[in-house]
Structure 1
Amino acid sequence: MLDSHMDAAVEWFVNSIKNTETYRRYRYQLEKIKEDPEVYEKVNEFRRRNYEIQNTAQVDELFEKMEAFEREYEKFRENPLVNDFLRAELAFCRLMQEVDIAIADELDFE
Structure 2
Amino acid sequence: MSEVERLTDELCRAIRTSREYAEYKEAYKILEQYPGLLRETNELRRQNFELQNSEDSDGMFDRVETFRKNYAELRKHQEVSDFLQAELCLARMVQSIGNAVTGCLDMNVDFPD
User: TM-score, normalised on structure 1?
Assistant: 0.88
Of 81, 84, 99, the match for 2:82? 84
Of 24, 27, 35, the match for 1:26? 24
Q: Distance in 1 between matches of 2:4 and 2:34?
A: 39
Equivalent position SS for 1:56: coil
Structure 1 runs of 4+ aligned residues shifted over 4 Å read none
Q: Which runs of 5+ in 1 are unaligned?
A: none
Equivalent position SS for 2:53: helix
1:17 Cα deviation from its structure 2 partner: 1.2
Q: Work out whether 1:73 is the aligned partner of 2:71.
A: yes
Q: Distance in 1 between matches of 2:37 and 2:54?
A: 25
Question: Letter of the aligned partner of 1:54 in structure 2?
Answer: Q
User: For 1:24-65, what per-residue CA distance to the aligned partner results, in whole angstroms no more than 9, with x for missing partners?
Assistant: 111111111112222111111111111122223622422221
Q: Which runs of 5+ in 2 are unaligned?
A: 109-113
Aligned length: 108
1:96 Cα deviation from its structure 2 partner: 0.9
Q: RMSD of aligned C-alpha atoms?
A: 1.5
The percent identity for this pair of structures is: 29
User: TM-score, normalised on structure 2?
Assistant: 0.86
